């Protein structure tokens, strides 16, 4: 998804999205990055940024974000119970790793993947 490409949550503000876009674009802009695929990567980033600004795209994710968070939370609660029995550290229930898992769940829900 555009949010995964930009490494932000679907709930990120416009200013957070723009800030992250600028940060990433400096790293992969073809004028700055001499890697062979820099131009292609930059075009993908631009498309992701433009998609993230599209109200229809935003609505698609807003409709599923709450459900995705709940699914990830329930799955992690179950996993944490199993981890506790084994004496392992629990999975985070918030933060970047949690947000990335929510994005993956949103993607599964919006594309019909299992």
Instruction: Delimit the domains of the chain by residue range.
Output: 2-111
pLDDT at 113 over 70: no
**CATH number of the domain located at residue range(s) 2-111 in this protein:** 1.10.287
CA–CA distance, 30 with 24 (Å, rounded to integer): 12
What is the pLDDT averaged over residues 22-51? 92
Q: Supply the DSSP symbol for 93.
A: S
pTM score above 0.95: no
pLDDT for res 57: 85
CA–CA distance, 42 with 40 (Å, rounded to integer): 5
């Amino acid at each position: 998804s555009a949010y995964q490409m930009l490494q932000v949550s679907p709930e990120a503000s416009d200013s957070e999205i723009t800030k992250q876009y600028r940060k990433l674009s400096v790293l992969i802009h073809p004028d700055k990055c001499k890697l062979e695929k820099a131009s292609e990567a930059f075009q993908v980033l631009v498309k992701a940024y433009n998609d993230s600004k599209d109200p229809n795209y935003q609505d698609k994710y807003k409709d599923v974000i709450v459900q995705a968070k709940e699914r990830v939370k329930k799955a992690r609660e179950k996993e944490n119970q199993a981890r506790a029995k084994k004496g392992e550290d629990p999975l985070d229930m918030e933060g970047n790793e949690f947000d990335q898992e929510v994005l993956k769940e949103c993607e599964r829900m919006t594309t019909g993947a299992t």
